[in-house]
């Protein structure tokens, strides 16, 4: 969200502005979000496509039935599952549930999915567990939880509020180390 907020401070978040923006300026704005070198041209391309194919109206795309909107986004070069779901959730206000590395790690540690689960399996597991109206706030909370507590390296199991319910087989190693 830091990258999006930074982008919003620098640009009006509308297709005609972003389609005309300099990629380097977009990149500099979204640096806090990471992967800015690949994300910046995608943002510009997405804005251009919305301008050309949807008359510049983001709502035309985001108001389509959810799965149809996802399918159309996924056809855009460089747009994958996560980017499509972030767009639908953040820009479109839809109840899709984006999956990033933090969300994936949490799903696997909590045994919501198998260790080799793909994006869609993880997304569907969380969507089954979280009511649509709470998905956006749950998504943001879980990302923060994954960054602060359930980290990839040196997880803070001693501080974990769901330690007792967590089914991760290595959690005791990290609780004892604290």
Q: Which residues are catalytic?
A: 82, 100
**168 CA to centre of own chain:** 23
Residue with tokens 């089914």: 167
Whole-number Å distance between alpha carbons of 63 and 93? 10
What does the chain come to in residues? 178
Token pair belonging to 19: 């389609």
Token pair belonging to 62: 């985001």
Identify which of 57, 85, 59, 55 has the alpha carbon closest to the alpha carbon of residue 71: 85
b/e for 147-174, b at 16 or more Cβ within 10 A? eebbeeeebebeebeebeebebeebeeb
């Amino acid at each position: 969200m830091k990258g999006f907020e930074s982008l919003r401070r620098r640009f009006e978040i509308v297709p005609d502005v972003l389609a005309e923006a300099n990629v380097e300026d977009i990149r500099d704005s979204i640096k806090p979000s990471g992967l800015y070198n690949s994300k910046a041209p995608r943002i510009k391309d997405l804005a251009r496509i919305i301008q050309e194919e949807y008359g510049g109206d983001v709502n035309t795309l985001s108001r389509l039935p959810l799965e149809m909107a996802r399918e159309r986004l996924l056809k855009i070069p460089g747009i994958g599952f996560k980017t499509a779901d972030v767009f639908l959730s953040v820009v479109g206000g839809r109840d899709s549930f984006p999956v990033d590395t933090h969300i994936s790690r949490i799903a696997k540690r909590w045994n919501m999915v198998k260790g080799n689960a793909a994006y869609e399996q993880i997304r569907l597991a969380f969507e089954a567990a979280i009511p649509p109206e709470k998905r956006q706030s749950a998504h943001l909370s879980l990302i923060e939880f994954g960054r602060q507590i359930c980290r990839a390296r040196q997880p803070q199991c001693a501080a974990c509020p769901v330690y007792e319910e967590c089914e991760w087989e290595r959690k005791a190693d990290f609780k004892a180390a604290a």
